Amino acid sequence: MPLALLALAIGAFGIGTTEFVIMGLLPDVAADFGVSIPTAGHLTTGYALGVVVGAPLLAILGARAGRKRMLMLLMGLFIVGNAVSAAAPVFGVMLAGRVIASLAHGAFFGIGAIVAAGLVAPRKKAGAIAMMFTGLTMANVLGVPLGTLLGQEYGWRSTFVAVTGLGVLGLAGVAGLVPRDAGGAAEHGARTGGRTGGSTGGGRAGGGIRGELAAFRNVQVLLAMAMTVLGFGGVFAAITYIAPMMTESAGFADSSVTWLLVLFGLGMVVGNLVGGRFADRALMPLLYVALSALAVVLALFTLTAHDKVAAAVTLPLIGAFGFATVPPLQKRVLDQTADAPTLASAVNIGAFNLGNALAAWLGGLVLGAGFGHTAPNWVGAALAASALGLAVLASALERRDAAAPSGIRPALARAAGAVARGGAGVQGAPVARGESGAPAGPADGAVGVDGAVGADMGGAAIPPTGAAASPDRRR
């Protein structure tokens, strides 16, 4: 494993910890600043919105910067945001610190995924992406529980001081271990066989801002992002309301919720690693299996949530199947945007948080309507099933597009043959003739399908079926 992946994982661990640790510290923060719990909850909402906004914004602003340099700047922004939170004298300042830190989140994971994929052979790209995301999943297993305990023992500010230290460690790792040209578009294109927008030394994005924006005209990119929103939303429809679900329906004590989340986090770690391993071999089949299983498990959770043992067994399964989709979805976006992946990769990270927000809103609606504490699980199952439907649609469109050239080639060949025999081109285009009246070659202005004659889809000449003019008879 390249050591640079370790540096990316450390940064991901710090970011994941600061995102989720606030949930266990909200009562302490609210009491310290003299605000209500719902008001303190804006620290979570503000962070999520900052991720959605910061992902595309910073990806665009940093499109011409070296990716290593951009990662270092993002970690610096993360450090500043958490330092502001730790020292905040009033609630508004802490909220500002949370937003500052969140701006780095989406762009770090988006650019980091490109860098991780560029550090390894093509057949190991998804595994490298998964290794970076292991930092995020381990944050839920270790960072959040330890950060919560630290904050409860020494005050919530100590947690943010510790997270700031993680940011410094991540910055040092990126500076010392990530190659200067890591994830450059030219390198990426050479490894994947894709086209690039030219040489992009220093790990710069190959397509510029226009190239980055052009990626969103690819329907497969949009479908992958929609799968991210719906599939990940399915997970967090249940997890957002896990505390009342486990205490009111399963009968757990409040103190047990933290360790139930650890079980969920362990499932995330396993699912992320398994997803990274198999996404390089069978990406779409993996998505079919993971999304199908996620929909089924979430539906069953409406029943198992009423029993302590069954609920404890189900939670890691939700984490595993949910996070098994992360590496393949991120890899799919990178594969579809090989020329200019930076913005699309970052926006796809924002799509995870958009899924979180959508799921929390929908889950809150069914709870508010009085359908019971387990009702959000039905919402999650429906979202996961919708993501599965989009995966099937994406595959169907790919098969259709792959089959299209085989039908076009014969038409091109027939058109070229007709031109060579002296007939009219497609749609009645005239055929230029040489001095003796024999049909001339394409240089004389013969027109075929869409103005191209004598070339197949790849640009190679198609042998005419009739006699063609020799080069010395062309004008």
Structure tokens at 250: 């399963």
Q: Which region among 4-8, 25-29, 197-201, 369-373 has the lowest average model confidence (pLDDT)?
A: 197-201
3-state helix, strand, coil in the chain (%, to 5): 75, 0, 20
| Average pLDDT over every residue of 34-44 | 85
β-bridge partners, 433: 439
DSSP string computed for 147-195: HHHHHHHH-HHHHHHHHHHHHHHHHHHHHHHS-TTTT-HHHHHHHHT--
d(CA 28, CA 35): 10
Helix axes 3-20, 144-154, angle to 10 degrees: 50
d(CA 147, CA 85): 14
Which residue in the block uniquely carries the two structure tokens 């249940």? 238
Cα dihedral angle (21, 23, 26, 28), rounded to 10 degrees?
-50
What phi and psi values does residue 95 have, to the nearest 5 degrees? -60, -40
Contact present, 101 and 167 (Cβ < 8 Å): no
Query: Does residue 197 register a pLDDT over 60?
Result: no
Closest listed residue to residue 96, CA positions, set 107, 111, 86, 106: 86
Task: Tell me whether residue 406 is exposed, middle or buried, using C-beta atoms within 10 angstroms of its C-beta: 0 to 12, 13 to 18, 19 or more.
Answer: exposed
Contact present, 237 and 376 (Cβ < 8 Å): yes
Closest listed residue to residue 471, CA positions, set 441, 439, 433: 441
Query: Does residue 236 register a pLDDT over 80?
Result: yes
Structure tokens at 236: 């967090």
CB-CB neighbours of 297 under 10 Å = 23
CA atoms within 13 A on the CB side of 402: 6
d(CA 233, CA 216): 21
Query: Does residue 319 register a pLDDT over 50?
Result: yes
Q: What pLDDT, on a 0 to 100 scale, did the predictor assign at position 257?
A: 82
Condensed to tens digits (0 to 9), the pLDDT of residues 44-100 reads 878 988 888 888 888 877 767 788 999 999 999 999 999 999 999 999 999 999 999
Contact present, 228 and 355 (Cβ < 8 Å): yes
Structure tokens at 425: 């081109």
Q: What pLDDT, on a 0 to 100 scale, did the predictor assign at position 201?
A: 36
d(CA 242, CA 305): 9
Task: Tell me whether residue 370 is exposed, middle or buried, using C-beta atoms within 10 angstroms of its C-beta: 0 to 12, 13 to 18, 19 or more.
Answer: exposed
β-bridge partners, 461: 455
Structure tokens at 134: 């292991």
Which residues contact residue 432 at a Cβ distance below 8 angstroms, ignoring those fewer than 6 apart? 439, 440, 444, 445, 446
Q: What pLDDT, on a 0 to 100 scale, did the predictor assign at position 432?
A: 44
d(CA 183, CA 405): 32
How would residue 457 be classed by pLDDT, with cut points 50, 70 and 90?
very low
Condensed to tens digits (0 to 9), the pLDDT of residues 133-143 reads 899 989 988 99
Structure tokens at 383: 């979202």
β-bridge partners, 439: 433
Q: What pLDDT, on a 0 to 100 scale, did the predictor assign at position 264?
A: 93
Structure tokens at 327: 């590496």
**Angle, CA 339 vertex, CA 130 and CA 182 arms, to 5°:** 50
Which residues contact residue 85 at a Cβ distance below 8 angstroms, ignoring those fewer than 6 apart? 94, 97, 98, 101, 160
**DSSP state, residue 427:** G
Query: Does residue 460 register a pLDDT over 70?
Result: no
Which residues contact residue 113 at a Cβ distance below 8 angstroms, ignoring those fewer than 6 apart? 129, 132, 330, 334, 345, 349
**DSSP state, residue 440:** P
Residue percentage of the chain with pLDDT more than 70: 79
**DSSP state, residue 63:** T
Which residues contact residue 472 at a Cβ distance below 8 angstroms, ignoring those fewer than 6 apart? none
Domain extent listing, the chain = 3-401
Question: Which comes out higher in pLDDT, residue 24 or 460?
Answer: 24
Which residue in the block uniquely carries the two structure tokens 């103190």? 255
Condensed to tens digits (0 to 9), the pLDDT of residues 321-366 reads 999 999 999 899 888 887 778 888 888 888 888 888 888 889 888 9
Question: Which comes out higher in pLDDT, residue 475 or 55?
Answer: 55
Query: Does residue 451 register a pLDDT over 60?
Result: no
> What is the assigned CATH class of domain 3-401?
mainly alpha
Query: Does residue 223 register a pLDDT over 90?
Result: yes
How would residue 397 be classed by pLDDT, with cut points 50, 70 and 90?
very high
| Average pLDDT over every residue of 204-221 | 76
Q: What pLDDT, on a 0 to 100 scale, did the predictor assign at position 207?
A: 55
How would residue 215 be classed by pLDDT, with cut points 50, 70 and 90?
confident
- What's the chain's average pLDDT? 81
| Average pLDDT over every residue of 134-156 | 90
CA atoms within 13 A on the CB side of 433: 9
d(CA 234, CA 363): 10
How would residue 199 be classed by pLDDT, with cut points 50, 70 and 90?
very low
Query: Does residue 154 register a pLDDT over 70?
Result: yes
Structure tokens at 25: 């510290």
How would residue 414 be classed by pLDDT, with cut points 50, 70 and 90?
low
Question: Which comes out higher in pLDDT, residue 52 or 376?
Answer: 376
